[in-house]
Structure 1
Amino acid sequence: MNVIFIEPAFPPNQREFVRGLAEAGATVIGIGERPLEELDPDLQGRMLHYHRVGNVTAVDSMTDAVRWVQERVWVDRLEAVVEAHTMAAAQVRENCTIPGTSVRTAWLCRDKPSMKAALREVGVPTAASTAADTADEVRDFAAQVGYPLILKPRAAAGASGTVRVDGPDELDAALAGFGSAESIAAEEFVEGHEGFYDTLSINGEPAYDFVSHYYPNVLDAMRARWISPQFIATNRVDSVADYGEIREMGRRVARALGIETSATHMEWFFGPKGLRFSEIGCRPPGVRAWDLYAAGNDIDIYREWANAIVRGAVENGLSRRRAAGIVALRPDGDGQISGYDGVDEVQQRFGEHILDVHLPEPGTPAQPVEAGYMANAWVRMVHPDYDTLRSMLDAVGQTLKVHAL
């Protein structure tokens, strides 16, 4: 099978998808924005050909590049696993008659108001939402559903650009912050615990599925530097009855949006109003969550993703042997990282359960809170018991301190 893979070099874990495809027996053709000489030799060696373009989201130039490849070899699949690339990839597939995620599905997974409207039509519970082209439309929506409200770009990934507003004054300030955006998504604020449900689906059915929890919820995590936020992939998916509702909701979402053979990432809330779907990406989760799934389930998830693409089946089941999670550690101020406290204590107490650690060198610029979970220091851990893992991650966040000057 000949597979075109979009942007094989960046971000760095993209090369793992290329590795997986090559090991699954695919002939890989890469299309990316970087010069060939900037790709490491191992990555180059796993591709039959690498084609450079100026912008992998420019549909016309991408279509030309793919057609150039098609003139030389048959192309069975074209794959993109970065949120910003998925819509352009779908349009190129359609232009070049290549199987895979359709333009309709990619659009519904990117455009949040359209996504929620499609899901409400089939009975999936979601927050009230609207696409607003003017400030007055947002104010009208606020008058209908009340506060708090959530405002976000229509096609953003995760919490990127998302703000909560609790009243008219905050709404005016938030709308000014969106600047020249032609359209934004406005949503009812849903109270409750936040998590995500991810799958590797084959022909619309989840061959693998994973449930993860945020502590605290994402917007809370992005509000204060002192918080050391976590997310944890549970290993209780098959044994806790409550997860059955999440898994069934995921299947309904996939059917409604036309998901076929693809990774998916779905956000959800559970609170006083019950389970509510938040949004979906037709791609793997960010923040290297797949690494946690692999560690917790004794699989090479990149190879299994490739098996799904190339062979239409995975080779190994999920062990559910360990829960796996990450705790993000923020510097105590702006400037540059100056040092750490508590590193030795964390290693002594939890060393056997630590998967990996990232501690940027002193002198590294401290990144802002909104830069995300892996922007500064972090620790990833595994343990057979979910509750024990959560308490260990709490302890790491309380013990390991990052200083900045």
Structure 2
Amino acid sequence: MHVVFVEPLFPGNQKDFVRGLHEIGADVSAVGEAPVEALGPDLHRWLTCYEQVGSVCDEGALAHALHEIHRRQPVDRLEATVEAHILPVARVREAAGLAGTSVRTAHLCRDKPAMKDALRAAGIATAQSMGGGDAEEIAGFGRRIGYPLIIKPRAGAGASGTYRVDDEAQLVALLPRLGVGHGAEVAVEEFVDGHEAFYDTLTVDGVIVHDFMTHYYPNVLEAMRTREVSPQFIATNRIDAAHAYAEVRDLGQRVIDALEIGTSATHMEWFFGEKGLRFSEIGCRPPGVRAWDLYGAANELDVYREWAACIVHGRKLRDASRRYSAGIVTLRPENDGRIAGYEGLDEVEARFGEWIIDTHLPPPGTPTQPVEAGYMANAWLRLRHPDYDELREMLDAVGRWVRVRAA
């Protein structure tokens, strides 16, 4: 099978998807935005051919690149794994008559209000929502359902550009900053309180063949706004235990069915609180912030090869071991500036060294990044342990002990 992969260089783990495809026996070509000289020896070795375009979201340029590759060797699949690439790739794929995620599915997984409308129609519990660019209509929605509200980009990913507003005065002040009234549209949702987590899968023809469950501490909106916390997310190895996650797994399969997701990675956010289990949103793509690396370390599994096997061979290669839970703890600099040094790392190494997967500790002099830049923006450590509760205590301890000094 000849697979064309969109954008093999950025973010950094993109080349692992190419590696996975190559290692399971596919012929792999790629379309990307960097010149061919930037690919490096690994990608040069794994790729059959490469086409550079100005933007992989430019459907005309992407279609032309696909045609040029197909002219050299017939193409069987066109694949992408970055949120912003999914819909343009689906349009080019469908126009070329290739198998894969449909334009309808890609649209519903990208447009948050349309997604929620489709899932409510399928009887799936989710927050009340609307999308639009009329400030008075948005204010009227707030009066009907009550505050707080969540305002986010209509086609956003993660917590980027997401805001909570607690009353109409805050809403009225925020909307012009987001371009409402000047042609921009936003997604507006009922605020759902409760514990936040995510459920990720690999599916073949709509059937889940691998799944992983990950918890946020604290919830994402707080984690991306508060310097004083060292946020974590932890992939549990208890997903198969008893019936603890049966309701979430059932919800995930119902969402996959309703959106007609076929052979793909998926990333689904959910909440559990006073109103019970509530769906939040789904992408027909892998999770960000290198969560797959945690799944691999926790389950003694190459998830990139598993994804590739699903795409090329229509099956998984092996079962996840569920031997470990694995998590990341983000370490925020005490203030913005440049990294001056670290305190507490020796204690972490002495106590937890055998359980550390890897670390990212930018050297002194490195400019800091703002809190809202995300979980991997500054320093972080990733650990694994057979016991979920003990791992969580370890990550809490790292957050207490390590200080990132900035000048």
Quick one: distance in 1 between partners of 2:238 and 2:336?
A: 39
Q: Residue type matched to 1:238 in 2?
A: D
Q: Residue type matched to 1:145 in 2?
A: I
Superposition pairs of residues 159-170 of structure 1, within 5 angstroms: 159-170=159-170
Counterpart of 2:178 in structure 1 is: 178
Percent of paired sites with the same residue: 60
Please list every run of 5 or more consecutive structure 1 residues that lacks an aligned counterpart in the other structure: none
Counterpart of 2:343 in structure 1 is: 341
Secondary structure of the corresponding residue to residue 304 of structure 1: helix
List per-residue Cα deviations over 1:327-367 (Å, max 9, x = no partner): 00000001111110001011001001110010001111111
Quick one: distance in 2 between partners of 1:181 and 1:218?
A: 28
Quick one: distance in 1 between partners of 2:228 and 2:262?
A: 41
Superposition pairs of residues 32-43 of structure 1, within 5 angstroms: 32-43=32-43
Counterpart of 2:120 in structure 1 is: 120
Q: Residue type matched to 1:253 in 2?
A: V
**How far has the Cα of 1:181 moved from its partner?**
5.5
Q: Which of 288, 304, 307 lines up with 2:306 in the alignment?
A: 304
Q: TM-score, normalised by structure 1?
A: 0.99
Counterpart of 1:293 in structure 2 is: 295
Quick one: distance in 2 between partners of 1:348 and 1:35?
A: 44
Counterpart of 1:57 in structure 2 is: 57
Quick one: distance in 2 between partners of 1:293 and 1:170?
A: 39
Counterpart of 1:261 in structure 2 is: 263
Secondary structure of the corresponding residue to residue 280 of structure 2: strand
Counterpart of 2:232 in structure 1 is: 230
Tell me if structure 1 keeps the 8 A contact 2:49–2:69.
no
Q: Residue type matched to 1:291 in 2?
A: D
Quick one: distance in 2 between partners of 1:223 and 1:39?
A: 35
**How far has the Cα of 1:393 moved from its partner?**
0.2
Whether 2:280 is the aligned partner of 1:278: answer yes
Q: TM-score, normalised by structure 2?
A: 0.98
Please list every run of 5 or more consecutive structure 2 residues that lacks an aligned counterpart in the other structure: none
**How far has the Cα of 1:133 moved from its partner?**
1.6
Quick one: distance in 2 between partners of 1:261 and 1:181?
A: 36
List per-residue Cα deviations over 1:33-78 (Å, max 9, x = no partner): 0001011111111000011011000001111111122222211101
How large is the Cα RMSD of the aligned pairs? 0.8
Tell me if structure 1 keeps the 8 A contact 2:178–2:184.
no
Quick one: distance in 2 between partners of 1:47 and 1:222?
A: 37
Secondary structure of the corresponding residue to residue 200 of structure 1: strand
**How far has the Cα of 1:306 moved from its partner?**
0.5
Whether 2:81 is the aligned partner of 1:81: answer yes
Secondary structure of the corresponding residue to residue 248 of structure 1: helix
Structure 1 residues 217 and 50, CA gap change in structure 2 (3 angstroms): same
Instruction: Choose 168-177 or 53-62, whichever is displaced more.
Output: 168-177
**How far has the Cα of 1:177 moved from its partner?**
2.1
In the alignment of these two chains, the number of paired residues is 405
Tell me if structure 1 keeps the 8 A contact 2:29–2:47.
yes
Secondary structure of the corresponding residue to residue 71 of structure 1: helix
Secondary structure of the corresponding residue to residue 376 of structure 2: coil
Counterpart of 2:149 in structure 1 is: 149
**How far has the Cα of 1:95 moved from its partner?**
1.4
Quick one: distance in 1 between partners of 2:373 and 2:285?
A: 21
Quick one: distance in 2 between partners of 1:269 and 1:61?
A: 39
List per-residue Cα deviations over 1:273-305 (Å, max 9, x = no partner): 000000001100000000000011111111111
Counterpart of 1:207 in structure 2 is: 209
Superposition pairs of residues 134-145 of structure 1, within 5 angstroms: 134-145=134-145
Secondary structure of the corresponding residue to residue 255 of structure 2: helix
**How far has the Cα of 1:262 moved from its partner?**
0.3
**How far has the Cα of 1:158 moved from its partner?**
1.2
Quick one: distance in 2 between partners of 1:89 and 1:138?
A: 31
Counterpart of 2:398 in structure 1 is: 396
